[in-house]
Amino acid sequence: MDQIANPAPGFQRNPDKVITIEPYAGIVTVRAGDTVIASSANAKVLTEAPYPAAFYIPFTDIDFGRLGSTDHSTHCPYKGDASYWSVLPAGEAGQNAMWAYKQPFDEMAEIRDHGAFYASKVTIEATPG
């Protein structure tokens, strides 16, 4: 049996929990007003009931020059510890608008080096390919 080096405690307690990560067949663009913050043809869609699906965009497709890291953090027993960034062109509305799991639990390794954005704080456009 394979040993997992950094297992998610959430899955250990609730092995029936389902979180799916799939490639998005299209382009995902994130904007603050007219300013493009991220654009990617390599985004992933993470689905976890009861939450809305979230697009995870590779760090290489995110303009970190338009973001500012914050001290805010959250913990998910399935994904790990999330770090946050504010979208600077969005002003106050962009506070902690992007999150990422820099060291996700092994089961969620696919979202390492990817960021996700709150649709309530920025505009997220998904154009099917």
Question: In this structure, is residue 1 part of a structural domain?
Answer: no
List, for residues 51-110, the tens digit of each pLDDT value.
999 999 999 999 999 999 999 999 999 999 999 999 999 999 999 999 999 999 999 999
Question: In this structure, is residue 2 part of a structural domain?
Answer: no
Tokens of 76: 């998910």
Question: In this structure, is residue 113 part of a structural domain?
Answer: yes
Tokens of 117: 């954005």
SS3 10: helix
The parent domain of residue 37 ranges over: 9-128
Q: Nearest CA to 17 among 25, 8, 6, 28?
A: 8
Question: In this structure, is residue 81 part of a structural domain?
Answer: yes
Mean pLDDT of the 18-36 span: 98
Number of domains in the chain: 1
Question: In this structure, is residue 3 part of a structural domain?
Answer: no
- Give the CATH number of the domain where residue 123 resides: 2.170.150.40
Task: For residue 1, name the pLDDT band (cuts at 50, 70, 90).
Answer: very low
Question: In this structure, is residue 31 part of a structural domain?
Answer: yes
Question: In this structure, is residue 120 part of a structural domain?
Answer: yes
